[in-house]
């Protein structure tokens, strides 16, 4: 009794079919979701740990509290920003007082250390001169109505001292900030 051979011989694939597959791959990669920060950051594909920016759930829905995922390793050593939603209003400058909603999380774990502005349901107001340098620098250039992800290395955050029991020494921080007003 003869059985069919389990090995199939390969048939040549037409060149047009290969070109079609290449076009589909390029289009799929282009639709993968990338964004350019108005602060001069390079284009960063969404969800890639190589960028140093952790993934953010509800990234573009400013009606929902953003949720930060843990970042990749090693943590970035320079300030990183990414506009998740580009605003259309007044631009924040280094001398601005801003009204923001924000979530702060530890880069390594994604664990929130502050999201009181979301649980209270209202924005908080402060001068950019009164916050850690990385937070202020990360907000400068944002437009009202925007949402930005900011990754702050320890040197521009709380450094080797940390902040109480909430932020560990030498912790890289991640903030997702909704800019609601500038004065």
Residue 164 domain-assigned (yes or no): yes
Domain of residue 60 covers: 35-182
pLDDT recorded at residue 50: 53
* β-bridge mates for residue 67, sequence order: 57
Mean pLDDT of 51-69: 92
Segment among 26-30, 82-86, 102-106, 164-168 with least mean pLDDT: 26-30
Residue located via tokens 């250039």:
141
| Inside any domain, residue 60 | yes
**119 vs 78: which has the higher pLDDT:** 78
CATH number at residue 85: 3.10.50.40
- Residue among 141, 131, 73 nearest 102 (CA): 131
C-alpha–C-alpha distance, residues 180 and 177, integer Å: 9
Task: Tell me the two tokens of residue 164.
Answer: 């109480």
pLDDT digits (tens, 9 = 90+) for 2-19: 333 333 333 343 333 333
Q: pTM value?
A: 0.73
User: Based on the structure, what is the number of domains in the chain?
Assistant: 1
Most confident of 16-25, 30-39, 104-113, 144-153: 144-153
């Amino acid at each position: 009794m003869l059985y069919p051979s389990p090995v199939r011989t390969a048939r040549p694939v037409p060149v047009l079919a290969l070109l079609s597959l290449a076009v589909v791959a390029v289009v799929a990669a282009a639709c993968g979701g990338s964004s350019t920060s108005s602060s001069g950051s390079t284009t960063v594909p969404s969800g890639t740990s190589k960028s140093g920016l952790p993934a953010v759930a509800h990234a573009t829905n400013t009606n929902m509290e953003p949720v930060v995922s843990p970042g990749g390793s090693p943590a970035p050593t320079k300030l990183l920003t990414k506009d998740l939603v580009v605003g259309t209003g007044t631009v924040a400058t280094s001398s601005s007082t801003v009204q923001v909603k924000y979530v702060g999380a530890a880069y390594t774990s994604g664990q929130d250390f502050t999201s009181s502005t979301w649980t209270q349901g209202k924005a908080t107001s402060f001068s950019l001169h009164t916050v850690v340098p990385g937070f202020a620098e990360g907000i400068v250039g944002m437009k009202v109505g925007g949402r930005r992800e900011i990754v702050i290395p320890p040197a521009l955050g709380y450094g080797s001292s940390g902040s109480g029991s909430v932020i560990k020494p030498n912790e890289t921080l991640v903030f997702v900030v909704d800019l609601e007003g500038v004065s």
